[in-house]
Amino acid sequence: MKKHQNILIIHGDGRKSGKTSFACRLISQFQEKGVIAIKICPHFHAAEGMEMRASEQGVFEIYRETTVDSEKDSSRMLAAGAALVLYVQCSDKGLESAWKELEKMLPPDRPVIAESGGLGQLILPGLAVLVAGSPQNKPVTVNYDIKTRLPEFKTDMPAVAFADGKWFCG
């Protein structure tokens, strides 16, 4: 697997665990560095208010979020200060193809925050964060550097830094 030091992946142990809230806190914290945010969704649905960037029929769709005033996770990321938000819809089998296309869109020196359950199976990120629900929603099968919960990071964010094109605990 290829190492991508500039990518921080946020995993969760289920729906409503706080993944997007955590991503938005990080985006806001590092927005002056031109953060690129990625939201990867394992199913397809209408992508309203978004600009198509790439697709392979039935395999993946990549959109640029353009709306800051909706309740969509990708819209929340843009409103939090991301310079660019890419929303990806793909099946588990389509994730690798989607990643190959997505990777072409990402400058290697800019901070990238990706909310994805499966991306960590394809790449080695600079950092991986697990946002755990309370109680835990499903078994955790990913490696992570930091574990947090929604109540904890609302008051005390984990020490994370980005410098020289790399994420690290600091």
pLDDT in tens, the chain (170 residues): 899 999 999 998 877 778 999 999 999 999 999 999 999 998 888 888 899 999 999 999 999 999 998 889 999 999 999 999 999 999 889 999 999 999 999 999 999 999 998 999 999 999 999 888 765 556 565 678 888 776 666 667 778 999 999 999 87
Distance CA 160, CA 166 (A): 11
DSSP letter for each residue of 127-146: EEEEEE-SS--S---S--SE
Contact criterion met (CB below 8 Å) for 117 and 9: no
Which pLDDT score, from 0 to 100, does residue 154 have?
A: 60
The closest alpha carbon to 124, from 27, 6, 34, belongs to 6
- Residue 39 three-state SS: strand
pTM summary value: 0.92
Which pLDDT score, from 0 to 100, does residue 146 have?
A: 83
Which pLDDT score, from 0 to 100, does residue 88 have?
A: 97
The pair of structure tokens assigned to 131 is 């946002």
Distance CA 95, CA 76 (A): 23
CATH number at residue 144: 3.40.50
Domain that holds residue 162: 2-169
Which pLDDT score, from 0 to 100, does residue 155 have?
A: 60
Number of domains, the chain = 1
The closest alpha carbon to 106, from 67, 68, 53, 152, belongs to 53
The pair of structure tokens assigned to 147 is 């574990």
The closest alpha carbon to 149, from 41, 35, 14, belongs to 14
Question: Is the dihedral angle over the CA atoms 110, 129, 71, 43 positive or is it negative?
Answer: positive
Total residue count of the chain as it appears in this document: 170
Distance CA 85, CA 27 (A): 11
